[in-house]
Structures are given as C-alpha cells and as structure tokens.
Amino acid sequence: MSNTSSKTHRSWPARLAWDELRLQLDFLQFLRATAVNKLAGLPVAQAAATPLPTSPRLSALGVVKHLTAVERWWLSIETGGADLPSLWVGSPDPSWDLAPDDTPASVVAAYKAEWARSEKALRRVGPDDRTRRRGEFTVRWVVAHVVQETARHVGHLDLLRELADGEVGE
C-alpha cells in the first residue's frame, strides 16, 4: 500500500525574533513538519523498514511514534499536568514499536493530534514557570529539550528516508 500523503507546510522562524519561547516553539513546529515530511510518499513497507542491523527497532514510523510519546510526556503531561497515559511505559521503551495497523497516515495523524494537546498545555504557561506535574523543570528547559530531541530524531529520519528510496534534503 502506498502512502500518497502530501507534504506538511514548513516555515522558517522569524529571523528577527525577540520572544524566546515563541522562537523555540516555531523551531519545534519547523522540525515537526520536517519529521512528517520524511514519511510523505513512503509505502508502508519502506516506512516500517528497519535497515540498520545494530538498531533493529529503528524505523521511520517508529521514530515518529517516539516523537509523539516525547511530546505527550514532556509537553502535555509534565509541563501541562494533563492526566493522560504515557506512551512509553515499559522497558525497552515501547514507543518505537509498530502495531500491525500502523501506516504513515495513521502515525502522522496521531503525531499531529499530540501537537494540538501540546499547544493547549503551553497556552497556560510561560517560560519561567515550573512544570505542573513535578515542578522540577522550567517550561523553558522542557521546550528546549523537546526541540533538541526532535532535531536529533529528524536526523535519524533523514538517514532512514535516504536508505528507503534515496530521497535527501529537507
């Protein structure tokens, strides 16, 4: 089955940005769009492929499922205090695992739904606020952490997409 999804629009953050939190969130949105665009047009078999023998659970679909779990935990649960189940309870971390019915479209839809939850959680806090679940982090720290985590995994998606069909670039 082919994935005929179109690409998600990406915009670079404003070059003369002055609001630190807005800038981080704009970079996060840019990275999110880059991540889902790496799945655009990939058939399920290629999106689910695990081509690296040393990382037998690393697939493009698994990376995006993991990013969904990252956003759920750090932004909705930790920062916003939402009463939601974590998507990575267990060892090894199950957020990388694929279900038989996972497709690029379903995984991207779940990721985008998590973006909406994250945005809702972040509307109620400022960068200097402490997170609502444990209060061990500032919102600034959490957003920076999610940005760096997403950027690292977009790098994995770059490699996985190139191995899948040769497509390179952003």
Q: 12, 30 in Cβ contact below 8 A?
A: yes
* Of 70, 163, 52, 49, residue with least CA distance to 114: 70
On average, the pLDDT of the chain sits at 93
What's the CA dihedral at 106, 112, 117, 123 to 10 degrees? 180
Tell me the sheet residues that pair with 130: 138
Between CA 100 and CA 108 the distance in angstroms is 15
Q: Which residue has the tokens 């799945």?
A: 39
Residue-wise pLDDT for 63-118, tens only, equals 999 999 999 999 999 999 999 999 988 888 999 999 999 999 999 999 999 999 99
Can you give the residue ranges of every domain in the chain?
A: 20-165
pLDDT over 50 (residue 1)? no
As separate numbers, helices (DSSP H) first and strands (DSSP E) second, the chain gives 5, 0
Candidates 1.20.120.450, 1.10.1370.40, 3.40.50.1370, 3.20.20.140; CATH matching 20-165 = 1.20.120.450
pLDDT band at 9 (very low <50, low <70, confident <90, very high): confident
Longest pairwise C-alpha distance within the chain? 47
pTM score, whole prediction: 0.93
